[in-house]
Amino acid sequence: MKSVIRNFNNGIIWNSLIMLFIFCITACNNGPKPQAGKAFNNVDKNGVILDGYDPVAFFTDNKPVKGDEKFQYTYDEAVYHFASKEHLDLFKGNPEKYKPQYGAWCAYAVSLGRVAPIDVNTFSIVNNRLFIQHNQRAVKGWNKDVPGNIVLADKYWPAVSGKKGAQITTDAEKQFVNNVDDNGVILQGNDAVDYFRQMKAVKGDAKYFARYNGATYWFSTEQNQTMFKDHPEMFAPQYGGFSGYGMSLGKLLPVNPEIFDVVDGHLIFQHSQQEDDEFHKDLAGNIAKANANWPELVEKYAGKKIEYDMTVSTVGSK
């Protein structure tokens, strides 16, 4: 179906958005992978955890130290390497003291209900527990509330590990309402940023993803992924990705991802071409109605299974 795009802001040019950040959230093919056993550890193809770094050295040397495979020990289905026999013996004597938290997955990611790989240079020791993050962005998020994030990560880890790292819905996310599929993906997998940059629907790739307000977004490029992470409020669709026309009627309707508008910098989708035309007969008035109705519907449906109200899917059903 043909896209309908209108510029109602006299001069807003979204193609001028230029961001120079590059960020990679996925590991390479030979990088750490979860093993298939009962435990859920971040290990390489040989079952080695922590990228082969010595877990004891984080405590004794306060820095990452590469281990030697001749000093190795298997604990909780993961192979640990140590820099010396002394460190190996210390670990054997009290593995729970020295092991990395959350199977050596990114601690901040676990606090958000999912997993991510790690960079051993981002480690910290809090209350004699070893935490490691994915990158400096994760470190920044973690450091905003270390005690609170530890509580969340401890709480979510059983569910996250039980789902082998798949995203779970956190307590904070239950307050939001989104038009998502069974996997929690919004916009039918289309790239939210490209609606602004290319003014068209562009399919995203699951390897470039971000989580925002309880929905998973896919992006076509790493650059778009990073742009969204830096300013998600700028690119996220209005009304949780539900139909703007439906919202003006106080109803939840599905959308056609090809039918959208960028109105005053806000991304709004519609269910059909006819409903889009109806919505634009009084654009300002309908947006005002939709904005007023949205908080009430969020309160009504937050944390509940969403069912579309197709009784209003025909134009003229006001």
Is residue 209 a contact partner of residue 218, using CB atoms and an 8 Å limit? yes
Tell me the average pLDDT of the chain.
89
Measured CA to CA, the distance from residue 192 to residue 219 in angstroms comes to 7
Across the range 243-261, mean pLDDT stands at: 97
- Which amino acid makes up residue 139? V
pTM: 0.78
Reported as a pLDDT band with limits 50, 70 and 90, residue 303 is confident
Least confident of 21-35, 106-120, 232-246: 21-35
What's the confidence (pLDDT) of residue 297? 96
Closest CA to 132 of 103, 158, 161: 103
What's the confidence (pLDDT) of residue 313? 54
Is residue 180 a contact partner of residue 241, using CB atoms and an 8 Å limit? yes
Reported as a pLDDT band with limits 50, 70 and 90, residue 10 is very low
Measured CA to CA, the distance from residue 105 to residue 47 in angstroms comes to 14
Across the range 248-277, mean pLDDT stands at: 97
Across the range 217-232, mean pLDDT stands at: 97
In sequence order, the 6+-apart residues with CB closer than 8 A to the CB of 283 are: 8, 263
Reported as a pLDDT band with limits 50, 70 and 90, residue 12 is very low
Closest CA to 92 of 126, 56, 39, 62: 56
